Amino acid sequence: MNAIKRIAAIDIGNSNIKAVVDNKKITCDYSSDWIDKISSFLDSNLIPNSIVGISSVQPERYNQLIKKIKYRVITADELLKNQKIIDFSEIEGIGNDRLLGLIGASINFSSPLITVDCGTAITINLLNEKNKCEGGVIFAGIETQLEALSSKAALLKRVDLYLEDDIIGKNTDSAIRNGIIKGVAGSILYIVENIIKQYGYENNINLILTGGTSKLIQPLLEKTNPKFHFDENLVLNGLIHLINHSFGTDFAKY
């Protein structure tokens, strides 16, 4: 059997898709040509005997994509089935993206740790000092809250999202923007603070922030709690780590 020459990691999310090969990365939304963009990226950077690891929360888009991939595909389900890095034995129904995020975080940060993934949903996940997942919290993300508000309230429209200095809005757009962005930041800080208190981790916890909208709230979280670290590639690094572990390879994290 020929040796594996290279790997790619792909994260198919609700809002966008990310792929990495070595130190090269592509991120795209689900416009009409997204499949061509991803397959072209793979063909430009992979060679025969390569492996493509895929995590997906979108089964239909996963099925569309793999029809265009000419390399060996291994899913997150396969990679996670026999992994011994983290104990998930007492958690039911947890998504692969959350599991891979914890594995990705554990590469560079010691446990106990909390990951905060800001995407379509906000997920907050706790890994204890014995590398056992204790579970987590899920609530609507920034874009999801904005979409719900604009679709349910006839007089409230979608607004551009960016971080303002003042917390009080002087007009409706500003009030919506501040309410959602700072409301999400406040929710995260409240939940994280109470997890830390409940488990007694006041002095030895790592907090890792990731996800597509995380940069909107990163300054607020870091200002309030300087223990927050930002790593935008937790899921991708988790995939790469599991492929290395499963196939005895030594590919660098992204």
How many residues are listed for the chain in this entry? 254
Is pTM, for the whole model, over 0.75?
yes
Q: What is the pLDDT of residues 195-212, one digit of tens each?
A: 999 999 998 999 999 998
> What is the band of 249 on the pLDDT scale with cuts at 50, 70, 90?
low
List residues bridging with 126 in a β-sheet. Answer: 114, 135
pLDDT at 2 over 90: no
Burial (0-12, 13-18, 19+ Cβ within 10 Å), 37: middle
Share of the chain above pLDDT 70, in %: 96
pLDDT tens digits along 115-138: 999 999 999 999 999 999 999 999
pLDDT the model gives residue 254: 44
Fold of 111-232: Nucleotidyltransferase; domain 5 (3.30.420)
Is 165 a residue of the active site? no
- pLDDT tens digits for 29-59? 998 899 999 999 999 999 988 999 999 999 9
- Whether residue 154 has pLDDT greater than 90: no
Contact criterion met (CB below 8 Å) for 205 and 227: yes
Taking only the tens place, the pLDDT of each residue in 60-112 is: 999 999 999 999 999 999 999 889 899 999 999 899 999 999 999 999 999 99
Query: Which strand (E) or helix (H) includes residue 18?
Result: strand 17-21
Q: Tokens 């991708």 appear where? A: 236
Q: What pLDDT sits at residue 252?
A: 47
**Does position 1 have pLDDT exceeding 80, yes or no?**
no
| Domain chopping of the chain, boundaries | 111-232
Q: How far apart are CA 167 and CA 163, in angstroms?
A: 10
Task: Quote the tokens at residue 198.
Answer: 């409940």
Q: Is pLDDT of 3 > 70?
A: no
CA gap 92, 208 in Å, rounded? 23
pLDDT band at 6 (very low <50, low <70, confident <90, very high): confident
Q: Which of 209, 212, 247 is nearest to 229 (CA)?
A: 209
Residues 224-228, mean pLDDT to the nearest whole number: 91
Mean pLDDT of 179-206: 96
Which residue of the set 97, 160, 173, 250 is catalytic?
A: 97
